[in-house]
A and B are shown apart, each in its own frame.
Chain A
């Protein structure tokens, strides 16, 4: 597997400008001759589809929901970063770049991360022009707030529904291109395989979720923007349908999978309650702007939190990290919460919770200000828990939230399969081993609005494509493979439901491949996942007909892939014998319990190559060179 990141030469600040100035261009007439498949209509996919259609390409866009507007980007709450420096608090492209590289524990690529910071401002301009109603000051200027891992205020937001507003902006741009006849939309379709012809990505096989029939689509290039895969933990903050199938099928067709073990466990989610639970609800990180996190100083203290005096409260983040306090990066906040709960300091019925307290903020700013800033989040909390967080502190606990890993891509966002591009959370690119808050949406939109529309031309202008139709052997073979897999799933007719298997996988992943990992646990997890996978294929029960709406079959195909991906995550975590960002190996920690990197041996991206059913995947590396910053031990003290 060849891993050339194709980083343009020249100084960091000029790489992207140079690239754009010298990139190969296609004439408008030639753009019209090209068809591009885009799977996913979230921030990354919808922005790419709209922009490329505006440029003249013919787009075929796919999503599994009934409408493009429902991609899981819709659920992002807190905000999106940009280096406008409207607050005049010392922000700059360099600072956002540095915060992001450092936040990722020096496991990201400098050139990509710098470009991301550079493009962030344009995103805000574009979204405002589309009618996104960002929060404003009384003066009419845009407003900002802070997010974790930063000392400046650079986050733009629309109440607690920033993702919804940004996605509806992209969806409206996409809808305009549908009306213009440049985008053909295929909702309710589930990607099941990638088709590679003569070494290049040329199409996809999908299952029509209404008729259950398999369909083939051909194009000159394929873009995957299918989101993250933390549903491998069963319970997470992702949507019920979020899945790894698209990128997993591409991996099996030869795309390298980078850093699968880098998982983000978000510190502020509503704690788990019972076995029937289907998902975990995020409480936006923006709450940490004003809420204070604490546990009682006494173990197993069951007193009403309001009756616990100040001296008996342990504001552990403020005490341990005076510089950043409650605004430390997510991995640090999550690990500290888990550690204290493991030690017996946790609160609530399960002991798996810490307090997020607004008492002092209400005193300082007044009730109205808190209602205005976070009202919808407090309402949501009350609906789920039945508790009023204005009166009694919220209880929060970490939950799987974001996958920093994904398909390996070069600077042009192309995977190791020529013609297959990957955008948004589905790629591995910009966040290293830990993503900072409010930067995923920035990345998805930078990828879709500003990067891919430039880089795809370079690819399409440089190749001559043979005439391929869906009658090609590669399409037939792929469709046949998918059909056999569907037949096999339906025919098992065992005794256990799909959810039962998914839940068991989630237990293994959370216990041994979760927030803290060690060699014994990881080895054991690999074995247990293999056993569970074998049992799945012997004993899963999927009722109903294949050629019909069949939600159990949809889930089963996804869980079957999670059962393979889970093992790869554990393998990657085992092979990365260091701690970095969200990947914490108990064997490697500082005296203070922080992640201890091993730059000498692990300053690289790990990229896995599929080698066939039952055969062990091969680990390749892309070395990370730091030319512009010096990796240091991350400190938020």
Chain B
């Protein structure tokens, strides 16, 4: 395959950055998207140039480390697929491909395609946990959880923290990421106890970061490689209301436990 790549190059956070065009003649449709970038980088190094910096680790769609805008779409726009799992056969021979980092105020660019997503960690640190010390736990079968509830909690728990939802959102909101964690926990009896405190703390931290507000564009759901449903956001809003006005939220959107 022959490809023409327009790649964002930016030396560091201070640099303004620019697109540079590269021609790649030896791509193969069995390659993954990142393997294609590997091949380009080998050529660049051989020519004495600096390779394109991009993040990745597992290359199995689970660590959440990879992520870039490909032709304007987060992770390239193939349903339920991270950049590392995107096969090159998704593109046509001779295609022009534009590659950029996540674009969001909350995720400053560090170099080329690498951004700083530490705001996500800070949201989790604010309350994305169940407060149980090691050694406190009762036998695992003491509390029963219906299969449907466990499966639904798992649907939300599968978030890999990649940031595609933020990058795809016209407002740069982090709602899908944050609500996925909140919904996962508040569905489970173990997570219910601290539900009010958790939602307040996480939302509070989100407001301190440079994320935008959610105005229901729903672009996040489309971009999410784990296909996390925006029903998470409704669940979070319900928890949030309940936390501040306990009376108002009774029955509203209450999940099946």
Contact = CB atoms under 8 A, between A and B. Distances in A.
Interface in A60-98: 65-70, 72, 74-75, 84, 86
Nearest to B205: A179
Interface string A90-130: 00000000000000000000000000000000101111111
Contacts of A84: 140-141
A141 interface: yes
A215 interface: no
Interface in B62-120: 62-65, 80-81, 85, 87, 89, 110-111, 114, 116-118, 120
B130 interface: yes
A72 B57 contact: yes
A226 to B, nearest CB: 14
Nearest to B162: A70
Contacts of B137: 122, 125-126, 128-129
Nearest to B89: A386
Contacts of B81: 383
A66 B140 contact: no
B237 interface: no
A130 B11 CA distance: 41
Interface string A129-159: 1110111111111100000000000000011
A635 interface: no
B134 A274 contact: no
Contacts of A168: 157
* A-side interface size class: 35 or more
Max chain A CB contacts within 10 Å: which of B63, B114, B136, B191?
B63
Contacts of A129: 130, 132, 136-138, 190
A618 B59 CA distance: 38
B131 to A, nearest CB: 6
Interface stretch (B46-54, B167-175, B241-249): B46-54
Contact of B51 (A47, A126, A543): A543
* B-side interface size class: 35 or more
A296 interface: no
Contact of A68 (B44, B121, B150, B184): B121
Interface stretch (B28-36, B206-214, B216-224, B228-236): B28-36
Interface string A378-396: 0110011010000000000
Interface in A367-422: 379-380, 383-384, 386
B57 A67 contact: no
Interface stretch (A475-483, A546-554, A580-588, A619-627): A546-554
B121 A240 contact: no
Contacts of A380: 60-61, 85
Contact of A74 (B50, B58, B89): B58
B240 interface: no
Nearest to B159: A168
A351 B146 CA distance: 46
Interface string B151-189: 101100110110000000000000000000000110010
Nearest to A450: B134
A99 B81 CA distance: 38
Contact of A273 (B30, B61, B145): B30
A520 interface: no
A210 interface: yes
B90 to A, nearest CB: 10
A445 B31 CA distance: 35
A216 interface: no
B141 A497 contact: no
B150 A136 contact: yes
A281 B60 contact: yes
Contacts of A164: 62, 158, 160
Interface stretch (A169-177, A287-295, A323-331): A169-177
A66 B116 contact: yes
Nearest to B134: A51
Contacts of B203: none
B192 to A, nearest CB: 10
A14 interface: no
A488 to B, nearest CB: 18
B39 interface: yes
B126 interface: yes
Nearest to B37: A278
Contacts of B116: 66
A630 interface: no
Contact of B111 (A47, A68, A386, A549): A549
Contacts of A495: 46
Nearest to A273: B30
Given A175-B125, A543-B45, A274 B28 contact: yes
B158 A161 contact: yes
Contacts of A241: 57
B21 interface: no
Nearest to B31: A276
A65 B63 contact: yes
Contacts of B31: 274, 276
Interface of A: 47, 50-51, 54, 65-70, 72, 74-75, 84, 86, 122, 124-131, 133-142, 158-159, 161, 163-165, 168, 171-173, 175-176, 178-179, 185, 187, 210, 239-241, 273-274, 276-279, 281-282, 379-380, 383-384, 386, 449-450, 453, 495, 497, 499-500, 541, 543-544, 548-549, 551-552
6 contacts: A126-B132, A131-B157, A141-B144, A176-B131, A276-B38, A450-B134
The 7 A-B pairs of least Cβ separation, nearest first, read A140-B144, A172-B129, A129-B137, A125-B137, A128-B140, A51-B134, A133-B154
